[in-house]
Structure 1
Amino acid sequence: MTTTTATALPPARSLRRFLVLAVVLYLIWFFTYEYWVLPDGRLNSFLSQNIAAASVGLLRILGFPASLDPERSTLVMMGKQQAVYVGDYCNGLVLYVLFMGFVLAYPGPVRHKLWFIPVGILSIYALNVIRVAALAINHLYSYKTVDFNHHYTFTFVVYGCIFLLWMLWARRLALPATTVRSQSEMEHA
């Protein structure tokens, strides 16, 4: 009895399921965000304040004179200088939902999704804290490059890491990486 190893590819039906589910999840997110989360503002405010505070904590651990602005709890200060403002579009909420939506829509065992989604969201959160802290350090030493690094360098890094998480899910955790068939199974297929 001989065996052959072949990479398992999702069938067209799985692709259609993924696309339909992704669109449905996106629409749910869009309407929930636009009509409830955004107007309410509390979740965005909480996340922005939390990212700013965690970044200040990281900077202090690293020995930098960081603090939050006493009047705006989403503004990271380096010494007495304003360094980074964490706005609603930079607090990571959209990234968490985008990541979660992909994993939920992509076929795979629910038991893996139950641990992979929180681990992925925590990873993205930590990356965002590091990003804000790095921008504050960038502002301290080379403030003229902050805008470029904010819009390009860190966007590339963050989305690249999310892509790697997705690839880990799609290639290793969602579906079996290989399918083993006996020779007789291959003949009857």
Structure 2
Amino acid sequence: MPKFMNFVKQKTNKPANMTDTTVKDAKKQADRKAIKFIVGLFVLYILFSQGNLFMYSVMTPTGRFYNPYLAEHFDYIQGLKTALITPAVWIIKLFGFYAIHNEMDVLVVNGPYLRINYSCLGLGVMSFLAAFVLAFPASWKSTLKMLIIGLITIYILNVCRIAGLGLLFGYFQSQRNYFDYHHEIFNVIVYIIIFVMLYIWIRKNTVKG
């Protein structure tokens, strides 16, 4: 009888031990994934953000690493400026203002003069979004979809920001010298929107996983 009782105890305790081991293994695996994600996010963000700054230096004639050939054939930074300025000017004109522009400036007649610098392009926010999405453990299809939607969202918001400044200062000329924090306001709004999008995306991918 005692042998039988010992056998029963062993059979009873075995599932509990297996459960504890499974929980510990799952926790270790989750910790490894979390660490991998944080390291990946940090490395990719530094790579993207500093890479863009380096390429800005390469594309700018006064830059430390200026390269005429690359600046002529691969200037994606100027391409982004043009892609932001052109639709913003269209929107300003739709509201009855006359606006002219060049490669980096927008002049609204009887309105403001806007200069689109590197800090206006939103590359910092784009770098964070790209780093986060690529570092997060999700399927490539879901990752690519979120990356495209997020980047397009940032781009559209930036176009609206530039057009909005032109219209705001066109209608309210007295405010031109007082609205110096539009970069900070834009970044806060965009980060809030991006964080909401990422939260929904993470929940969707976590449930599927």
> TM-score, normalised to structure 1's length?
0.75
Asked whether 1:40 is paired with 2:46, we answer: no
The equivalent residue for 2:99 is 67
Q: Percent identity?
A: 22
Cα offsets for 1:5-26 (capped at 9, x unmatched): xxxx992122101012112213
Please, which runs of 5 or more residues in structure 2 have no aligned partner? 1-26, 61-74
Higher-strand-fraction structure? 1
Runs of 4+ displaced beyond 4 Å: none
The alpha-carbon deviation at position 121 of structure 1 amounts to 0.6
> TM-score, normalised to structure 2's length?
0.69
CA distance in 2, matches of 1:92, 1:158: 9
Asked whether 1:77 is paired with 2:107, we answer: yes
Contact 2:85 2:159 in 1 (8 A): yes
Please say which structure displays the higher CA radius of gyration: 2
The equivalent residue for 2:153 is 123
Quick one: structure 1 residues 19 and 33, their matched pair in 2 at CA, closer, same or farther if it must change by over 3 Å? same
Q: Partner letter of residue 162 of structure 1?
A: I
Q: Partner letter of residue 207 of structure 2?
A: P
Contact 1:49 1:86 in 2 (8 A): no
Compute the RMSD of aligned alpha carbons: 2.4
CA distance in 1, matches of 2:183, 2:45: 24
Higher-helix-fraction structure? 2
Aligned residues: 165
Quick one: structure 1 residues 166 and 64, their matched pair in 2 at CA, closer, same or farther if it must change by over 3 Å? farther
The equivalent residue for 2:142 is 112
The equivalent residue for 1:28 is 47
Three-state SS of the structure 2 residue aligned to 1:144 is coil
Quick one: structure 1 residues 103 and 66, their matched pair in 2 at CA, closer, same or farther if it must change by over 3 Å? farther
